Every structure is written in structure tokens, then in C-alpha cells.
Amino acid sequence: MLKNYFKIAIAVLKRRKFFTFISLFGISFTLTIIIVLAAFIDNILSANYPETNRDRSLYIISMQQRDPVHQGQMSGPLSFYFLNHFVSTMKTPAKVAISSLFASTNTYVNNKKLVINVKYTNADFWDVLQYQFIEGKPYTKQQINNGEHVAVISEDTKKEYFGDVSSVVGKYIEADNVQYRVAGVVKSVPVTQLISSGDLFLPYTVSKTDYNAKTYMGSYTAVLLANSKSDFTKIKDEYANIVSKLPPENKDFNEIHSFADTYLKSFLSFSNAGNGVTIILTVITAFILFVMLLPTLNLININISRILERSSEIGVRKAFGASSKTLVWQFIVENIILTFFGTALGLLFSFIILQVINNSDLISNIHLTINFTVLFYSLIVCLVFGLLSGVYPAWRMSRLQIVTALKAQ
């Protein structure tokens, strides 16, 4: 029986090529959007190079100072002094990586201007984040303390600044009219990874800003590496205890809020990160369901049009004894087959688009892949919506009377 349904479905799809094209386009386009969007989200949130220790890392991204009475607030990244003086001395974390948000600066090579992103770090930064060194090694704690003008550069910066040479360790790169000796070259990181991305990594001691300024807020963030994930609660509690004892640094604000949290939560909220994650996930889910609903409604309308066109076929089959149940299943199977073909095309288009993005300079060094968990659930959702889009038209079809169906022709 299913074999016959399949043959009939293929014949129907071939007969109405325009309707078939519209249906396939709606399904494949919708699935492509979902898979490509999921690939971007997965790339940003997953433990990709060099943040492979993200599953046992907590992030301190920002601080917020408030005045609840006058509803005033000030928020932003933290200062190096705060992170070095209060966070690096914490007992629970194994290591604390401190780094600035990258800032753009200009350098010139052969009368050509290059814009490079500079990031200042401490020594533990190279232990917490697992960079792949193509050549050389990171600068040491001793070199940082000595204020040496040493640097680690990205592979892209090496190619753009020095050209096609075998080794640049020991050579000098200029930025902001200052010469830095290259200590190592690392595999480049896409700009989508805010904590680890950079073109030129420098010791915090060579920064032109006063890293010893006794203020809470600045341009730095921290990654706290735990010995194991089970230490997360202790680390959070220890940091919360530190923040609770901080005296206000500004008379206009009398409350200080800052949290050590997992990567996603650290970017979402100050006081209630858990709800922030829930909101984000709810919005994403609602968006996906809404996007999937559009082709479903499209399929319902197209299927109803097809039913009206096939009224004579329905009438003849009923006249020869076909039950309403048999006809309903036939139309549902036809719709599932159509959904299957649309899904296959969506996967093909998604793969092609991801490869184009990976091989282009749209986002340098990014590598997007199909998330198979998202793919699995997308297939289930497509199947469910395929069934839903076929049930109502099939029910309408089964209600047609034989005489009415034959007269419609």
C-alpha cells in the first residue's frame, strides 16, 4: 500500500510542477535558515579552539555599579588592577587568565596600512587558553614583569606584515610607533570569539594605560580555570564574597554587581543570568517555530488547491469503494514525501552555504559545521509540520461527497 502511495505521490508532484517548486522552496529555504543560524550560534557558544577548556571555565566579563534610589547605573569591563588584585588571588581557581578586549590600531608595511587588533594579557592567559603555536612560544611571566617589548602574533598578521617567510621569531613588528620582538606565532582565531580573538598579543605591562590604576572598571576580562567542573559553585561563591565586601569607589553608586559564570550566562545578565538564558532560548525556539509555521501554512493552502483540482479523482476513487481513511492516508503520505524532498534540498543548500562562508573572507578563520543535534531536531520538526500541513487538507478531501466531487470537474 505504501509503495502505491509513493508512486501516486511522485506522479502528482510531477504533474503540478509549479506548486511542487513553491512547496519545495518553502521547506528547503526554511530549513537552510535554521541550520545556518544554528551553525553560527554553535560556533560562538561551543568550546572551539582555543577555548577548549570552556567546559571547566568561568568568565568574569563585566561589573555593574548601581544607585537603586535614583535608578542610576554604570557598567562595563573590569580593570586590570581589580582582576589582578582581587581575582588572581582567589584560592579555588587553578589559574586566572586576564586579557583586555581587543582594540584596533594601525601599522604600515611597504606604504600599506594594516589594521590589527591588539590584546594585552597576563602570563596565565597562555595556560588557560590552548593556542596552537605555529612557531615560537608565548612570552613568560618574567618578560612581562620586566616590561619587555615582546609579542605573539596571529598567523594572518604574520602573512600580512612579513609576507611569505618561513620564520619570524626574533623579528620586529611595529604598532603605534613601538617596536615589538616576535616571540611566537599562533593559529588565527575568528573575531566572533571575543575573549580569545586578536592579531597582536602583548604583555599588559607595555600598555599605554595605567594598569595599576586603583579602579574597579576598565577594559579587561578574566577566565577562571577550575580544576574540575565540580568547583564551579565554590568559585562563584568565593567571587561573590569578594564583590560583596567591595567598598563603593564612586559616591554616586552604592551597589556593586559582578558575577563569575559560564560563557553564555556571563554575557546575558548581571543579577539573573539564569533567566537571561531562558529568555534567549525561548526567543530562539519561538523564532524557529514561527519560521517553520510559514511554509506549513503555505503547504496547507497549496494542498487545498490541489485537492480542489483533484476532486474528480477523489470522486472516482470513492465511487469504486475507496474509504475516506484510505484517501486521508494517501494525501498525508504525499505531503510527508514532499517534506522529505524539501528537507534533503535544505541540507544540501545548507552544506553549500556553510562551505562558501568557510572558504570566503566574510568572517576570517571561521569554520562553520552542521550541528547534528540541531539537524536531528530539525528533521523531527519538519516531519511534524509535514504531518500537520497534510492533516487539514486531507480531512477536507475526505468530506467531499461523490456527486459533488464529480460535478466539480
Residues 6+ apart with CB under 8 A from 195: 51, 59, 99, 129, 221, 223
Comparing CA positions, the residue from 332, 307, 306, 297 lying closest to residue 400 is 307
pLDDT one-digit tens code per residue, 210-269: 898 999 999 999 999 999 999 999 999 999 999 999 988 877 788 899 999 999 888 775
Locate 262 and state its grid cell: 559560564
- Span 33-45, average pLDDT: 82
pLDDT one-digit tens code per residue, 325-364: 676 777 777 777 777 888 888 889 989 999 888 888 777 7
- Span 4-28, average pLDDT: 71
pLDDT one-digit tens code per residue, 172-200: 999 988 999 999 999 999 988 889 999 99
Whether 226 contacts 58, CB under 8 Å: yes
Whether 72 contacts 253, CB under 8 Å: yes
